[in-house]
Amino acid sequence: MDSSFDEFYMQRCIQLAKLGAGNVAPNPMVGAVLVHEGRIIGEGYHRQYGYAHAEVNCVRSVTPEDRHLIPAATIYVSLEPCAHYGKTPPCAALIVSEKIGTVVIGCVDTFSKVAGKGIEILKNAGVTVRTGVLESACRELNSRFFTFHEEQRPYIILKWAQNRDGYMAAANGTPVRISNHLTDRLVHRWRSEEMGILVGTNTAVADNPRLNNRHWTGKDPLRIVIDRTLKTPRDFHLWKGPAHSLFISERSAAETDTVAIVTADFTQPLLPQLMKILHERKILSVLVEGGAHVLREFIAHDLWDEARVITGHNPLAQGVNAPVLPTVLLNNELILESDLIRYYRNSKKENIT
């Protein structure tokens, strides 16, 4: 088949996969399309963690009158079909049982329980397998998943708002409104798409933030607070549900149904410890919202994958300086009313390219 057709259907797989954003982690986002002689007879994507994978939903979507076409069809999948029993049976076995003759895969799954084993099952059953179709796009689709398994840490997204003079708060640290209501909704959408959201003690105490998702549909992220002495007042939002909180501290304290406390050694570098803690808890991605000191620490240690910088129009004669990123990393920009949002990628991270 012409490679352009492969790319066309794989692009559709990617579109479908994105519909699962925020709902499937710690699993990857996956889309699948079943094609018979140029006609799509089935589509599916992984909708929710713990439930049917993309290939299953794709096969299930085939109408009764088209089911006899399945063995002669080609299934396109953005990620290698799984080969192990987890919360659901292996998708590679499903493809074999449905007698689908050809499988086109966007990228190989480097997760150790799959890592080529799905392809091996297919080939051993006589299935024709083509790989590497829109591979870069398929890897980027699941950059969080790949970073987590290949680098043993969450995918890190830095986010802050600043005014045109580069200030992100008043000189005394008092928070000021910088972004507009449309940008606020976008930020809450970002929260719904990530597993965790992180702030330091100064932000927790000065802002009394909720760090939940109020202006968009979807779940709340895990609220992660770096608080060495548990300085955050107990009547603040971060100690209350229904959103869950994880405090990283050198002190222990009573936990609740929605608040966990993990002790760390603050006399040693903290970020490596934090990455290990979050990896053990299967937190695939973290949106780091501040404050300035915490953001600079992530930048100084080159421990970030994306940065999203909102520039608003609120004037400040002086204030807390926002972190600075090399402008050569500018990837994209978007204007919402008066706000400018710059998106950066860490060019040193191979998993992003």
For 154, residues 6+ apart whose C-beta sits below 8 A from its C-beta are 144, 147, 148, 195, 196, 275, 278, 279, 283, 284, 285, 286
| CA atoms of 184 and 201, how far apart (whole Å) | 22
98 appears as a binding residue in the annotation: no
135 appears as a binding residue in the annotation: no
161 appears as a binding residue in the annotation: yes
Residue corresponding to tokens 């409104």: 177
Amino acid in position 140: E
Catalytic residue (choose from 7, 37, 55, 337): 55
134 appears as a binding residue in the annotation: no
Residue corresponding to tokens 């860490």: 346
131 appears as a binding residue in the annotation: no
Q: Are the CB atoms for 65 and 71 separated by under 8 Å?
A: no
207 appears as a binding residue in the annotation: yes
Active site residue 55: yes
82 appears as a binding residue in the annotation: yes
Q: What separation in angstroms does the CA of 226 have from each of 37, 82, 324?
A: 56, 36, 22
- 163 forms beta bridges with 312
For 20, residues 6+ apart whose C-beta sits below 8 A from its C-beta are 29, 30, 45, 46, 47, 48
Q: At what angle do helices 292-300 and 270-280 cross, to 10 degrees?
A: 90
222 appears as a binding residue in the annotation: no
Q: Which two tokens stand for residue 336?
A: 């919402």
Taking the CB of residue 10, how many other CB atoms lie within 10 A of it?
24
**b/e sequence 118-155, b meaning 16+ C-beta within 10 Å:** bbebbeeeebebeeebbeebbbbbbbbbbbbbebebbb
- 52 forms beta bridges with none
SS (H, E, C) 274-295: HHHHHHHCCCCEEEEEECHHHH
Annotated binding site for substrate: 191, 203, 211, 214, 289
Q: Which residue ranges make up the annotated binding site for NADP(+)?
A: 161, 207
Active-site annotation, residues = 55
